């Protein structure tokens, strides 16, 4: 017994020493949604950044794929399994969307998902039937939904073909006896995690999902009378999250292709010729991938055109991959000694056990639980998967993926299976405006191409205009009238993007109907004082707590204003009450 006691004391001494030397939290991420906005944004001077809007609402005359789906159906189906059935009805084989369950995740709704009511991820890995009379809607890599029952909310990411970007939407009040509302959410908030403006998902082996048997068993414990939850299976094979991951990669490739289409070719006649050549090569590759010659004179001409305008630092392949994490084995972050003692006393906790408690916790209490480690935090900036140089053909291959199988079938039919006839139509005068600097827009381009080929009756399209659609709604707070010279003008410039109209109530501390109300809420949020304490934290390990964050547009704007002699930072600091103000 003496030896055992001595051994325990030695272990405790080591743990205490480690605790003192390593600090309380270790490699814990200090980043929060409340500190970030539009991370890893485009260079404001790039052609893509100037043309592809980053506003919350979609550009006028454009809408998301999800909006078009609901518009064509006539109403929003309820409950969620009925919505999944609507999506399945779009598939030529009536294949349901791929689903996976995440009870303990990393989304803004993490505090309202748990093992009893996990977050359902549903992805439309479907193809519409072939048709001679209409263009199909492309869903693969373009429609993603995340439903949390306890939040009465669906998070939706879907592609807006005419705007060349993904849209971020919420279906709010999606519950029994409620009136659902579809709104566009604060884009800056979404892009703190969705840094390329596209879907994100963990990488293999997806232990956060119900493909992990241990996670699935905990979910099943709450659903003993069923094998499904809103038509989503309680346990799925690895093929399900793998399909979701694949669709997320396709979504990120779309964003990269749009950047190559614009930034890789540039403006003016040379840029238009570059885009025309890229399209012709993409059609050639689609026609016969196996015989595509990467050394042909046409390919060499395309590379020469790209070299004239390609960004000096290259074009990045968007990265939507999050590190894998296992909530069943992941320990909370905190004082190592206290964690050791808890485990010793049988009171140890994991991310999974904390998630199980969240069924009884409110969102604010849940968000006060230990934060994520840096390596798994989606707020941490992610390096691109690759950097493409001017001699890359990724634009050609990416463009080929922007067309559907039915598109190719129609092109073959109307051209008499002659690629030469198709490429000649690309060079026609009627096609010229398609290559002006604008997002790649599949349906208008195909319509112009068929017209140039002499097709008299063009295939119909339900979903590339806003005809018959009601105006889009934006989520968030109403506009605030701010008096000239008020310090709120400064907060508006640097802070409102994330802290006013945020769907997360805890982060919405700059909301309010009047100036006085908003200023009071700011002054009552004591964390702002530390977040603005540049003199103390800049250049230290705690610089990540400063607001606006280092990699945001707002920080760049504040740094520039400060360098030009602005007092904006001091004005915000002065607005906060002193420790000894009574």
CB of 61 closer than 8 Å to CB of 45 = no
Residue 167 CA: distances (Å) to CA of 64, 245, 391 = 6, 19, 31
* Residues 281, 419: Cα–Cα separation, whole Å: 11
CB of 69 closer than 8 Å to CB of 182 = no
Mean pLDDT of 93-122: 93
Cis peptide bond prior to 178, omega within 30° of 0? no
The token pair at 582 is: 């009574």
pLDDT at position 551 over 80: no
The pLDDT, as a whole number, for residue 251 is 97
Q: 């396709």: which residue's tokens?
A: 250
Mean pLDDT of 397-420: 96
Mean pLDDT of 520-527: 89
Would you state the torsion angle of the CA atoms of residues 458, 460, 465, 468, taken in this order, to the nearest 10 degrees? 130
Instruction: State the Cα angle at 259 between 70 and 292, rounded to 5°.
Output: 100
* Residues 104, 403: Cα–Cα separation, whole Å: 36
CB of 40 closer than 8 Å to CB of 549 = no
Q: Which of the pair, 449 or 344, is modelled with greater confidence?
A: 449
Which helix (H) or strand (E) segment is 156 a member of? strand 153-160
pLDDT at position 371 over 90: no
Mean pLDDT of 382-407: 96
The pLDDT, as a whole number, for residue 479 is 74
pLDDT tens digits, one per residue of 199-224: 999 999 999 999 999 999 999 999 99
The pLDDT, as a whole number, for residue 241 is 98
Question: CB within 8 A of 268, min separation 6: which ones?
Answer: none
What are the backbone dihedrals phi and psi of residue 201, each rounded to the nearest 5 degrees, phi first?
Answer: -165, 150
The token pair at 386 is: 């690759």
Sheet of 98-102, strand order = 98-102, 119-123, 143-148, 153-160, 165-172, 181-184
DSSP three-state, residue 317: strand
**DSSP string of 206-264, one letter each residue:** -TTSTTSHHHHHHHHTT-TT-SEETTEESS--THHHHHHHHHHHHHHHHHHHHHHHHHT
Question: CB within 8 A of 478, min separation 6: which ones?
Answer: 513
Q: Which of the pair, 38 or 105, is modelled with greater confidence?
A: 105
**What's the pLDDT band for 26 if we cut at 50, 70, 90?**
very low
**What's the pLDDT band for 372 if we cut at 50, 70, 90?**
confident
Mean pLDDT of the chain: 85
Mean pLDDT of 546-567: 83
* Residues 547, 550: Cα–Cα separation, whole Å: 8
Sequence-distant contacts of 338-344: CB under 8 A, at least 24 apart: 340/12, 340/15
The pLDDT, as a whole number, for residue 194 is 94
Per residue in 154-187, is it b (16+ CB within 10 Å) or e — as a string?
bbbbbbbbbbbbbbbbbbbebeeeeebebbbbbb
The pLDDT, as a whole number, for residue 177 is 80
Q: Which of the pair, 141 or 480, is modelled with greater confidence?
A: 141
DSSP three-state, residue 183: strand
The pLDDT, as a whole number, for residue 95 is 93
CB of 402 closer than 8 Å to CB of 442 = yes
Nearest to 184 by CA among 474, 470, 469, 471: 474
Mean pLDDT of 103-119: 90
pLDDT at position 31 over 80: no
* Residues 162, 200: Cα–Cα separation, whole Å: 22
**What's the pLDDT band for 505 if we cut at 50, 70, 90?**
low
What are the backbone dihedrals phi and psi of residue 160, each rounded to the nearest 5 degrees, phi first?
Answer: -110, 100
pLDDT at position 349 over 70: no
Instruction: State the Cα angle at 318 between 142 and 250, rounded to 5°.
Output: 30
CB of 186 closer than 8 Å to CB of 475 = yes
From the number of C-beta atoms within 10 Å of its C-beta (0-12, 13-18, 19+), residue 283 rates as buried
pLDDT at position 50 over 80: yes
Q: How far, rounded to the nearest angstrom, does the alpha carbon of residue 474 sit from its chain's CA centroid? A: 17
Mean pLDDT of 431-456: 95
Cis peptide bond prior to 205, omega within 30° of 0? yes
The token pair at 532 is: 């603005």
**What's the pLDDT band for 468 if we cut at 50, 70, 90?**
confident
* Residues 396, 278: Cα–Cα separation, whole Å: 6
pLDDT tens digits, one per residue of 165-198: 999 999 998 998 888 889 999 898 899 899 999 9
pLDDT at position 262 over 70: yes
pLDDT tens digits, one per residue of 218-227: 999 999 999 9
Domain boundaries, the chain: 2-30+326-371, 56-127+137-247, 253-319+390-452, 488-575
């Amino acid at each position: 017994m003496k030896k055992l006691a001595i051994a325990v004391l030695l272990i405790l001494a080591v743990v205490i020493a480690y605790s003192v030397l390593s600090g309380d939290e270790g490699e814990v991420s200090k980043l929060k949604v409340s500190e970030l906005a539009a991370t890893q944004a485009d260079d404001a001077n790039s052609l893509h950044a100037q043309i592809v809007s980053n506003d919350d609402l979609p550009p006028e005359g454009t809408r998301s794929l999800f909006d078009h789906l609901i518009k064509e159906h006539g109403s929003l189906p309820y409950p969620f399994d009925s919505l999944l059935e609507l999506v399945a009805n779009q598939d030529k084989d009536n294949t349901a969307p791929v689903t996976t369950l995440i009870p303990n995740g990393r989304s803004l709704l993490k505090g309202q998902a748990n093992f009893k009511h996990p977050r359902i991820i549903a992805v439309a890995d479907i193809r519409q039937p072939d048709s001679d009379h209409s263009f199909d809607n492309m869903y693969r890599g373009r429609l993603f939904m995340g439903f949390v029952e306890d939040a009465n909310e669906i998070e939706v990411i879907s592609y807006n073909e005419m705007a060349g970007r993904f849209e971020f939407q919420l279906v709010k009040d999606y519950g029994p006896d409620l009136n659902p509302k579809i709104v566009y959410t604060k884009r800056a908030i979404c892009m703190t995690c969705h840094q390329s403006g596209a879907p994100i998902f963990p990488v293999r082996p997806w232990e956060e999902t119900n493909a992990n048997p241990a996670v699935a068993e905990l979910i099943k414990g709450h659903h003993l009378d069923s094998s499904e939850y809103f038509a989503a299976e309680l346990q799925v094979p690895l093929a399900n999250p793998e399909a979701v991951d694949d669709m997320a990669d396709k979504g990120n490739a779309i964003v990269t292709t749009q950047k190559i289409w614009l930034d890789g070719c540039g403006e003016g006649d040379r840029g238009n010729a570059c885009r025309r050549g890229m399209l012709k090569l993409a059609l050639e590759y689609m026609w016969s991938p196996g015989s595509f010659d990467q050394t042909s004179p046409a390919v060499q001409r395309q590379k020469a055109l790209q070299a004239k305008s390609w960004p000096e630092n290259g074009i990045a392949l968007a990265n939507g991959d999050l590190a894998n994490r296992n909530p069943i084995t992941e320990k909370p972050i905190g004082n190592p000694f206290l964690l050791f003692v808890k485990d010793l006393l049988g009171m140890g906790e994991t991310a999974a056990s904390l998630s199980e408690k969240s069924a009884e916790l409110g969102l604010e209490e849940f968000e006060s639980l230990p934060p994520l480690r840096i390596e798994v935090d989606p707020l941490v900036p992610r390096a691109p998967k690759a950097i493409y140089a001017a001699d890359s053909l990724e634009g050609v291959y990416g463009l080929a993926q922007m067309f559907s199988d039915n598109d190719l079938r129609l092109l073959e039919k109307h051209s008499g299976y002659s690629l030469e006839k198709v490429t000649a139509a690309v060079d026609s005068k009627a096609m010229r405006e398609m290559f002006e600097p604008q997002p790649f827009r599949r349906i208008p381009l195909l319509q112009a191409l068929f017209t140039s080929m002499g097709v008299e009756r063009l295939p119909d399209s339900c979903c590339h205009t806003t005809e018959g659609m009601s105006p889009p709604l934006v989520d968030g707070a109403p506009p605030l009238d701010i008096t000239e010279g008020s310090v709120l003008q400064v907060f508006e410039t640097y802070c409102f993007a994330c802290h006013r109209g945020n769907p997360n109530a805890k982060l919405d501390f700059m909301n309010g109907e009047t100036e006085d109300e908003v200023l009071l809420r700011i002054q009552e949020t004591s964390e702002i004082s530390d977040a603005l304490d540049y003199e103390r934290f800049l250049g230290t390990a705690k610089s990540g707590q400063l607001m606006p964050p280092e990699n945001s547009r707002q920080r760049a704007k504040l740094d520039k204003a400060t360098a030009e002699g602005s007092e904006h930072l001091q004005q915000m600091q002065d607005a906060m009450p002193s420790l000894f103000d009574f």
